[in-house]
């Protein structure tokens, strides 16, 4: 499915209806036999269906639902970013390979783009509305990926500017290309850098009066919750002592909850466990923010999405 997304087959079906895959293959330099096999497979899986006996296919009902949903496309893109991790799983299980720089790694660009797409239809509008109502004018997005949120924010909230930081050069390169394509160079800036060193970017962050993160902080939670999350939050407080943080992140269901209501949380939890990250349970995020020195911490939980918005204000100055 990800291959048909990447090659534009699904988009052609969504816009044109039936697509002659033989013609599509010749037009786009693809292997006709292999593309037909992929379409036959997805027809058997009820994602596609044959439109005629001559090699034309269209989206079936399930496929049409997936393709019209940015969240579903985002989940597929995100999971695709863990391809190397899944391929190396036997060696990782036997201790011959490990998830770390220079060995097994996920694809940062796919994960960043997928996370952004998965948030567009629901969490982006909620967060943008919070920023608009709060009167914030310059927003920092931590782990900005390809700047999907900042671009969305600037398109929907007049006068707002954005600055993003991400350690993935591939994601930042993708962000800069999109920013230029949308003529937002004057309003959105992206830094390829380490969010643990926010104090090194004081000039770039001047004027920031609110910060956001989308499904980023759980990546700082190691096994048994002993990862670098707390040091990061303390770094944020030192670098931006008056700035509130709005964090959207996954809530880890129990195995019994996932069994009763399967969904993307199953793969999400597995992939993050394999890469040494641990999503927190409901209520635990609030405790962590309070311990890190934030004030007026509020968690708004969305059970259907198995995620929460955690809003944390800067504490009042001591007298």
Kindly report the CA angle at 279 between 276 and 280, in degrees rounded to 5? 135
Specify the domain boundaries for CATH 1.10.10.10 within the chain.
2-68
Q: Given this model, what pLDDT does residue 13 score? A: 95
DSSP, collapsed to helix, strand or coil, labels residue 280 as strand
Return the percentage of the chain with pLDDT > 70, whole number. Answer: 96
The contacts of residue 174 (CB under 8 Å, 6+ apart) are 109, 112, 113, 145, 146
What are the tokens at 82?
């863990």
Q: Given this model, what pLDDT does residue 245 score? A: 96
Specify the domain boundaries for CATH 3.40.50.150 within the chain.
70-313
* CA separation for the pair 193, 28 (Å, rounded): 37
- Where is 135: in which H helix or E strand? none
**319 pLDDT above the threshold of 70:** no
* CA separation for the pair 94, 253 (Å, rounded): 27
Helix axes 108-120, 169-181, angle to 10 degrees: 50
pTM strictly above 0.85: no
Residue from 213, 178, 215 nearest 198 by CA: 213
Q: Phi and psi (nearest 5°) for 179?
A: -60, -45
Q: In the CATH hierarchy, which top-level class contains the domain 70-313? A: alpha beta
Q: Given this model, what pLDDT does residue 224 score? A: 44
| Residue with more model confidence, 224 or 15 | 15
Q: Given this model, what pLDDT does residue 317 score? A: 58
How far is residue 289 CA from its own chain's centroid? 21
Q: Given this model, what pLDDT does residue 251 score? A: 86
Q: Given this model, what pLDDT does residue 264 score? A: 75
Q: In this structure, what DSSP letter does residue 303 have?
A: T
Arithmetic mean of pLDDT, 234-257: 91
CATH code of the region 2-68: 1.10.10.10
| Residue with more model confidence, 49 or 275 | 49
Q: Given this model, what pLDDT does residue 280 score? A: 83
Arithmetic mean of pLDDT, 218-242: 81
Residue from 119, 109, 155 nearest 264 by CA: 119
Arithmetic mean of pLDDT, 164-175: 90
| Residue with more model confidence, 42 or 117 | 42
* CA separation for the pair 147, 158 (Å, rounded): 17
């Amino acid at each position: 499915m990800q291959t048909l997304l990447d090659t534009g087959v699904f988009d052609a079906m969504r816009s044109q209806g039936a697509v002659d895959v033989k013609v599509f293959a010749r037009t786009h330099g693809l292997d006709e036999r292999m593309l037909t096999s992929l379409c036959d497979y997805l027809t058997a899986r009820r994602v596609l269906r044959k439109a005629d006996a001559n090699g034309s296919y269209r989206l079936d009902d399930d496929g049409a639902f997936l393709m019209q949903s940015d969240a579903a496309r985002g989940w597929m893109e995100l999971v695709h970013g863990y391809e190397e991790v899944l391929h190396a799983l036997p060696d990782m299980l036997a201790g011959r390979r490990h998830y770390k720089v220079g060995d097994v790694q996920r694809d940062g660009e796919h994960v960043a783009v997928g996370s952004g797409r998965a948030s567009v239809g629901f969490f982006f509008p909620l967060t943008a509305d919070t920023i608009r109502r709060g009167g914030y004018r310059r927003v920092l997005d931590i782990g900005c990926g390809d700047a999907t949120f900042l671009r969305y924010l600037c398109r929907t909230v007049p006068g707002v500017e954005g600055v993003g930081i991400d350690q993935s050069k591939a994601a930042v390169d993708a962000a800069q290309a999109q920013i230029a394509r949308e003529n937002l160079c004057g309003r959105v800036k992206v830094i390829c850098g380490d969010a643990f060193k926010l104090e090194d970017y004081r000039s770039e962050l001047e004027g920031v009066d609110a910060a956001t993160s989308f499904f980023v902080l759980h990546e700082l939670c190691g096994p048994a919750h002993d990862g670098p999350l707390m040091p990061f939050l303390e770094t944020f407080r030192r670098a931006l002592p008056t700035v509130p943080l709005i964090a959207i992140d996954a809530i880890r269901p129990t195995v019994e909850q996932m069994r009763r209501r399967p969904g993307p949380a199953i793969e999400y939890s597995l992939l993050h466990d394999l890469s040494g990250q641990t999503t927190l349970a409901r209520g635990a995020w609030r405790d962590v923010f309070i311990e890190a020195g934030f004030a007026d911490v509020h968690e708004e939980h969305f059970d259907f999405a198995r995620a929460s918005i955690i809003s944390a204000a800067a504490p009042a100055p001591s007298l």
